[in-house]
Structure 1
Amino acid sequence: MSQPTILFVDDEKNILKTLQRLFLDDDYRLLLANSGQEALDLIRGGEKPSIIVSDQQMPGMNGAEFLAKSREILPESIRMVLTGHADITAAVDAINVGGVHRYLMKPWNDDELKLAIRDAVERFDLTLQNRELTKQLVEKNRMLEELTINLEKKVEERTRELQIAYRKNLTLTTILRKKLKELEGRDRIQQHLLTMHPLQETLNTVLEVIIDVVGADTAAAYLNAPDASLLEPTAVQSAPVAEGGQAIDAIPEEQIREIFSTGTPCCLNSLLHANKPGEPAMILSHLLVPVKGIDSLLGVITVSKQGQRPLAEEEIRIVGSFVQQAAIAIHDSQMHGNICALGSSLDDVLANL
């Protein structure tokens, strides 16, 4: 803590010298002025006394007037009046106008004066400390408010990041589950193809897998028969109808014949009316996929599904991968039939020899 500065103001020089001797051994920095104007000049010149002790009765500018002007420049300073005149009016002026903290009489008691100065210094120091602490508190509150705002922003940003990451993870998990289900379906069909089965049984297995993986309602397989006038499914599979669900309309025969003619897959979507008021409208999707061999069209597989959205591109791709396995099964069945027919022909030739 810096050395306290005390300014004594009195028009009598011997009084100033007496005060100087009184506080010679104390750890104070003393300033002496013979008039109020001289004291103001010191203050305006940069001096900032902690304590100002002024005589009341001085020519030109009395103590109350001087202290009032010094108060405007140094409002934090502790001001005291030291006078030999017991004038109540002067005391009131000094307190009200000059903002005096204490009023002391001449002749003074040395111990009483030194105690008053020491108390004033402590009060001044406490005032400064309190002001500094208040300033620090205001600054810390401001920093805390900024930190709180920044923390809230960071929490919001982190929450958004976590929400985005969660949604991405959820999407990825859904994709992985669908992919795993597709691979399990492909493996099921592949294991079935490793052993000999009737073609209809194999096609039913493929259709069951399609319904399970894609979540379709019905699926059917049509083979390219020599008699084009007949269009009957070789295999048909349906999922259980949910309670309140609508029956699936059959795919128009001309649409199936068009696929046999063009060899191009297509997806037909139509809007279904809600069963009850307030329920969301449903969409019926019919997917028709040609089953292609090496150099011929082997058949057509149809898939029907109703839901709140049409069949997605990924679901169409998955159906296409199962249709490729169906093409292998049909091709193998035809090859087996040809081999059996060839064997019968050879048996007939050998029997005639």
Structure 2
Amino acid sequence: MEIPVIKVLYIDDEAHNLTAFKASFRRVFSVFTAESAEQAGHILEQNDIHVILSDQRMPKMTGIEFFESILTKFPDPIRILITGYTDISAVIDAINRGQVYKYLTKPWNEDEVKNFITKAFEVYQLRKENVHLTEKLIDVNQKLELIARHAILS
């Protein structure tokens, strides 16, 4: 069985954080980086991203606002908010508005981030499999209903 490459997008307005993230995880994941929500949007349009990490405090748009803005167009990627500030209202907003899977603080622990990304990808895969199985179940159910109708009419 082939092990899938996990595609991760990290958004942060601080270039040195993007460089550090890419250096830390490029051998483990397929890493995409963006310095703004706008850049991130372009990356999402061109790539099938599995996990998105976003800094909370960025100019123009916070991480939560970014996650909220992509929910309808890109609902599948699992979202992780990462920030240098501990703000309980941001945590609540992240969960309620941005449907965030995890909330991490900077500076990050490499092993912890790697573990969270891997677990987030497992959630991504399970959701995809759930959709696939639901579609199969609906199809089989429709076929059974058709067979039952024919049996009743015969």
After TM superposition, the structure 1 = structure 2 runs for residues 248-287 of structure 1, keeping only pairs within 5 Å, are: none
Tell me what 2:63 maps to.
63
Specify the SS of the correspondent of 2:72: helix
CA distance in 1, matches of 2:130, 2:139: 14
Tell me how far 1:92 sits from its aligned partner: 1.9
Q: What's the CA shift string for 1:11-49, capped at 9, x where partnerless?
A: 1111112111222222x3221110112112222x33331
Letter in structure 2 aligned against 1:69 = S
Letter in structure 2 aligned against 1:120 = A
- Superposed structure 1 runs of 4+ greater than 3 Å apart: none
CA distance in 1, matches of 2:85, 2:121: 25
Tell me what 1:31 maps to.
32
CA distance in 2, matches of 1:123, 1:14: 29
Specify the SS of the correspondent of 1:72: coil
After TM superposition, the score normalised by the length of structure 1 is 0.41
Letter in structure 2 aligned against 1:129 = E
2:25 corresponds to 1:49: no
CA distance in 2, matches of 1:107, 1:93: 21
Task: Report if aligned partners of 1:37, 1:61 keep a CA contact under 8 Å in 2.
Answer: no
CA distance in 2, matches of 1:133, 1:56: 35
Q: What's the CA shift string for 1:128-179, capped at 9, x where partnerless?
A: 00110111111111112112223444xx2xxxxxxxxxxxxxxxxxxxxxxx
CA distance in 2, matches of 1:5, 1:66: 18
Percent identity between matched residues is 35
After TM superposition, the score normalised by the length of structure 2 is 0.90
Q: What's the CA shift string for 1:64-87, capped at 9, x where partnerless?
A: 111111112111221110100112
After TM superposition, the structure 1 = structure 2 runs for residues 1-353 of structure 1, keeping only pairs within 5 Å, are: 2-26=4-28, 28-43=29-44, 45-153=45-153, 156=154
CA distance in 1, matches of 2:93, 2:141: 41
Task: Report if aligned partners of 1:71, 1:77 keep a CA contact under 8 Å in 2.
Answer: no
Structure 1, unaligned runs of 5 or more: 157-353
CA distance in 2, matches of 1:16, 1:10: 6
